Amino acid sequence: MISLMLQLEKQLERQVAHNSKGIDMVVGAKGSPLQLILSAIFQIDVPTGNIQLSEAEALQRNRLVEYGIPLSYGDSYELFRIVGTTSDYPELYSMKLSEGDLWQKSLEVTLGSQVAERTGLKIGDTFFGSHGLSEGGHVHEDRAYVVRGIFAPSATVVDQLILTGLESVWDIHEHSDPVDSASHLEDSETHPHVDNRENEKSTANEKHLFANSEEHEQKEDHQHEDEEQREITAMLIKFRNPMGLVQLPRMVNEKTNMQAALPNYELSKLFSLMGVAIKTLNIVAIVVMLVSGISVFISLYLSLNQRTYEMALLRTYGASRSQLLGMIVQEGLLISFVGFLCGLVSSRIGFFIISQLITSGFHYDLADAALVREEGFLLLISLFIGFFAALIPALRVFRINLSKTLADA
């Protein structure tokens, strides 16, 4: 169990570090900073809302920002998120392509390795995305995505994502419903467009009911308006120098409609919360170890009761006391060692099972099954316990009264 805990911790830390490398700050809609981090970097949890593209771009031009990567998400396909972004995003994670290319035109996508595996989509296949990040969202059936490429596995969050250009996301939403994309998360039944979809392609005078009462007139007009109103979900920022850390977050939080969240800070908070849970589990594990140490002791003790005659016999044939002592201690150590190995294997298996169960979970690399340094301590402790459990039976053997034992046979 302890080994399992250690592995989980290690994996978690690695995943977090890996995914948040190169990102100093995230800006998005105001709300919970942790939610923003989780949704923008790890693609867990729903976004806090949208921000104006123009505001984000203005921030990108700030002299303290080295780069900013826009993200637009909110749609999904078979539970995999569709993320609109620029080519900087895959570059951030040093993604390599295993087949095909990066998306070029609107509505072309490149799939993460896990997505390709689970959905079976191949280059050239088309599919429809649906609203929202859970099942049963309104499907955008008029516009299909087409697969342009597939990424190689990277042990980062991108493996679970479907990447496309920002334009794709805008195009999709433009045509069916130029509504604030945050409201896409509503139940599709209340969405007015479900009824009107069939009429979409007809006259320009079609009136739709929009939450913000924009009118869907000519496509060109509409597009023009949208350009000014275009929104994205979040932007990942890297500072040019440490001054960025000092000035930018405050500026964003106080002077704009966006909020800035710092990944390192939020995640440290999260980890310290988790730390409590992990400590508790570790205590349980230690108790289990002690109990098993006791059971090793008891089984050695009992088995020795039965083997006393044999022990005496060995003495008769010339075994010295210390030889017998050594034999028993070795037994104890051997049991502990084998137990340790079994424990290691079980924890690897347990870990594997757990990671399968978590869908947005860890892409577990078997090379990672390597030993954590703390597991070395675990080995020493196990051997120690084995040694002490064996000690008392060993001493009993040491003090066997030969004559009595043999005579009593």
Partner 1 sequence: MLTTESLSFEYDPANRFEFPDLFLDYGADLLILGESGIGKTTLLHLISGLLRPKSGKVFIDGTSLSTLSDKQLDTFRGANVGIVFQRPHFIHSLTLGENLAMIQFLGKKKSDPVRIKLVLDGLGLLTKINVHPHLLSQGEQQRAAIALAVVNQPKLILADEPTSALDDRNCIKVIELLKCQTKRNFASLVIITHDQRLITEFTETVTLLPMLEPTPNTDH
Q: Which of residues 367-406 bind partner 1 (CB under 8 A)?
A: 402-403, 406
Among 276, 357, 370, 409, binds partner 1 (CB under 8 A): 409
Interface region with partner 1, contact rule CB under 8 A, candidates 124-132, 136-144, 268-276, 314-322:
314-322
Identify the burial level of 124 via C-beta atoms within 10 angstroms of its C-beta, where 0-12 means exposed, 13-18 middle and 19 or more buried: exposed
- For 90, phi then psi, to 5°, come to -60, -30
Least Å distance, CB 326 to partner 1, is: 13
The reply to whether 309 sits near partner 1 by the rule CB under 8 A is yes
CB-based contacts of 209: which residues, under 8 Å, 6+ apart?
192
The reply to whether 203 sits near partner 1 by the rule CB under 8 A is no
- Between 253 and 405, name the residue whose CB sits nearer to partner 1: 405
Are the C-beta atoms of residues 88 and 71 closer than 8 Å to each other? no
- If binding means CB under 8 A, how many residues of this protein chain bind partner 1? 18
Tokens describing residue 31: 């709300």
Least Å distance, CB 327 to partner 1, is: 11
Radius of gyration of the chain (CA): 31
Least Å distance, CB 320 to partner 1, is: 5
- Of 226, 112, 232, which Cα lies nearest the Cα of 177? 226
Sign of CA dihedral 237, 240, 242, 248: negative
The reply to whether 315 sits near partner 1 by the rule CB under 8 A is yes
Least Å distance, CB 324 to partner 1, is: 10
Q: Which of residues 318-357 bind partner 1 (CB under 8 A)?
A: 318-323
Tokens describing residue 163: 């990447």
The reply to whether 407 sits near partner 1 by the rule CB under 8 A is yes
- Between 295 and 316, name the residue whose CB sits nearer to partner 1: 316
Among 317, 353, 366, 370, binds partner 1 (CB under 8 A): 317
Among 310, 338, 342, 376, binds partner 1 (CB under 8 A): 310
Least Å distance, CB 21 to partner 1, is: 57
Least Å distance, CB 300 to partner 1, is: 15
The reply to whether 314 sits near partner 1 by the rule CB under 8 A is yes
Least Å distance, CB 401 to partner 1, is: 9
- Between 245 and 313, name the residue whose CB sits nearer to partner 1: 313
Contacts with partner 1, residue ranges (CB under 8 A): 309-310, 313-323, 402-403, 406-407, 409
